[in-house]
Chain A
């Protein structure tokens, strides 16, 4: 490989590395299906649980009633559901109506997931402290009790960073 080739390949590598670094953002902004925008900074003072799910995913649907109960019982907690990998909006709205979801639902996509750093499976949930710090990520279904234990500091292994 001659010097000119190396130059072009180095230029490409530098270009892509700079893109990768600039893409690392911490703040997120989610607009729910009623048009309300939720941001990490805007939720200061509350625990925040961001739950990624899909309407075709049995494990995701299984944990939704747990979250509904959790949201109704804890005023210092804000749950935000992010639906991804759905075919149609109707598919999502049918699911949330059937489950009587009481917390905001965002119609997300892969770019939405990218703002949280990506994920290997569904459901995946991210827990933030009232100070806006990421407590950690949990892959797999959660129960109401598990989230309550995490908020109460009784477990530190459920959500990992």
Chain B
């Protein structure tokens, strides 16, 4: 049984909110004659500017329960046609992630270690090819919890005097479980597909850059990254799996005085994810040239950050899709939530 790999795209997109620890100095954002002083601490988005250590604990909720085909919602007729042709019809994929991060920001850069703990529940109506019966006949589910793939992300800001721009380099390690099984239904005990495992089984490199600045009392940042799997592990049953390359662009703007307690902000998150490859990657039942994975997604993410005192900040974001184009039939979320707490030391 094959299951679509849409979860990878969306899980990665959610992670972009807290993907990197960047460092900038504040001097460059201060207007002439010290006239305006803008906060440059984008810590709630993982962009820490305060020198020293900080710890971050965030929770994200992602419920993929909307069937999409291409750049629109999948009609019932299309789903029935795909099902009749033998394509798997998924029901939902729900992912909850608790990520603990330890960050260090120095004079010319910083490093962040991100340790996710994940729970992923999945339900699918299965693939009815060769099966006689209505949709739901082969309904089966899975649920797995555990440590996900650890990320270690560094940044360097020593190229320019103002240090408002820099480079990002990091690695995603294959620490997450890749051996989960279906836990109930007709396929209980069989291997869950690679794209739905908590871990990808791959070691990925992450490269990118960022820049930040200010316009009047508005601060902004832009960050782009490329993620590429350099090594992969064989999936269960000897199947191979390599997650597709991911290209992300994040931009944010906010209005914030230095030390403001309540900071509203708005992010734009765009991710283009290439299709996964390997023997365990399914293809579209009507057009075998189209893989059932990958796509381009854009989210608008309003949020707020609140300083609690004592170096503690709380933050929250809602990601709302404004553009979704997926390959073949995939599940997509209607929103995602992220809440977190950050402590600077």
Q: Are A120 and B257 in contact (CB under 8 A)?
A: yes
Q: A113-B259, A120-B257 are in contact. Are A22 and B308 (CB under 8 A)?
A: yes
Across-interface contacts of B337 in A (CB, < 8 A) = 8, 12
Across-interface contacts of B78 in A (CB, < 8 A) = none
In the docked arrangement, what's the CA distance between A15 and B344, Å?
Answer: 21
Across-interface contacts of A88 in B (CB, < 8 A) = 107
Which residues of B from 300 to 345 have beta carbons under 8 Å from A?
304, 306-311, 314, 316, 318, 334-335, 337, 339, 344
Across-interface contacts of A54 in B (CB, < 8 A) = 30, 34
In the docked arrangement, what's the CA distance between A60 and B344, Å?
Answer: 26
Q: Are A23 and B258 in contact (CB under 8 A)?
A: no
Across-interface contacts of A8 in B (CB, < 8 A) = 61, 318, 335, 337
How would residues 213 to 232 of chain B score, 1 for a CB under 8 Å from any chain A CB and 0 otherwise?
00001000000000000000
Q: Are A19 and B258 in contact (CB under 8 A)?
A: no
From B35-43, B113-121, B134-142, B200-208, the one touching the partner chain is B35-43
Q: Are B316 and A16 in contact (CB under 8 A)?
A: yes
Q: A110-B39, A111-B307 are in contact. List 9 more A-B contacts (CB 8 A).
A: A5-B334, A12-B337, A15-B316, A23-B261, A56-B30, A88-B107, A115-B259, A119-B257, A121-B34
Q: A19-B306, A109-B50, A110-B50 are in contact. Are A57 and B258 (CB under 8 A)?
A: no
In the docked arrangement, what's the CA distance between A110 and B258, Å?
Answer: 6
Q: Are A58 and B318 in contact (CB under 8 A)?
A: no
Query: Does A131 belong to the interface (CB within 8 Å)?
Result: no
In the docked arrangement, what's the CA distance between A84 and B26, Å?
Answer: 10
Which residues of A from 53 to 69 have beta carbons under 8 Å from B?
54, 56-60
In the docked arrangement, what's the CA distance between A58 and B107, Å?
Answer: 22
In the docked arrangement, what's the CA distance between A111 and B107, Å?
Answer: 19
Q: A110-B39, A114-B307 are in contact. Are A84 and B339 (CB under 8 A)?
A: no
How would residues 33 to 63 of chain A score, 1 for a CB under 8 Å from any chain B CB and 0 otherwise?
0000000000000000000001011111000
B287 to chain A, nearest CB (A): 32
Query: Does B289 belong to the interface (CB within 8 Å)?
Result: no
Query: Does B1 belong to the interface (CB within 8 Å)?
Result: no
Query: Does A123 belong to the interface (CB within 8 Å)?
Result: yes
Query: Does A70 belong to the interface (CB within 8 Å)?
Result: no
Query: Does A85 belong to the interface (CB within 8 Å)?
Result: yes
Query: Does A151 belong to the interface (CB within 8 Å)?
Result: no
Which residues on B are within 8 Å of A, measured CB to CB? Answer: 25-27, 30-31, 33-37, 39, 41, 50-51, 61, 107, 217, 257-262, 304, 306-311, 314, 316, 318, 334-335, 337, 339, 344
Q: Are B307 and A123 in contact (CB under 8 A)?
A: no
A15 to chain B, nearest CB (A): 7
Closest to B32 in A: A58
For A60, give its contact among B34, B310, B339 (CB under 8 Å).
B34
B249 to chain A, nearest CB (A): 25
Q: Are B307 and A23 in contact (CB under 8 A)?
A: yes
Query: Does A100 belong to the interface (CB within 8 Å)?
Result: no
Across-interface contacts of A122 in B (CB, < 8 A) = 30, 34, 37, 258
Q: A23-B307, A121-B31 are in contact. Are A116 and B259 (CB under 8 A)?
A: yes
Nearest 9 A/B pairs, CB to CB: A113-B259, A118-B260, A118-B259, A57-B34, A114-B259, A118-B257, A114-B307, A122-B34, A19-B306
Query: Does A160 belong to the interface (CB within 8 Å)?
Result: no
For B339, give its contact among A15, A85, A119 (CB under 8 Å).
A15
Closest to A141 in B: B34
B89 to chain A, nearest CB (A): 21
Across-interface contacts of B334 in A (CB, < 8 A) = 1-2, 5
B129 to chain A, nearest CB (A): 33
A14 to chain B, nearest CB (A): 11
- Could you pull out 5 A-B pairs where Cβ atoms are within 8 angstroms? A20-B262, A59-B33, A111-B310, A112-B259, A119-B259
In the docked arrangement, what's the CA distance between A119 and B36, Å?
Answer: 9
How would residues 82 to 126 of chain A score, 1 for a CB under 8 Å from any chain B CB and 0 otherwise?
001101100000000000000000000111111111111111000
Closest to B35 in A: A121
Q: Are A120 and B37 in contact (CB under 8 A)?
A: yes
B305 to chain A, nearest CB (A): 9
Across-interface contacts of A118 in B (CB, < 8 A) = 257-261
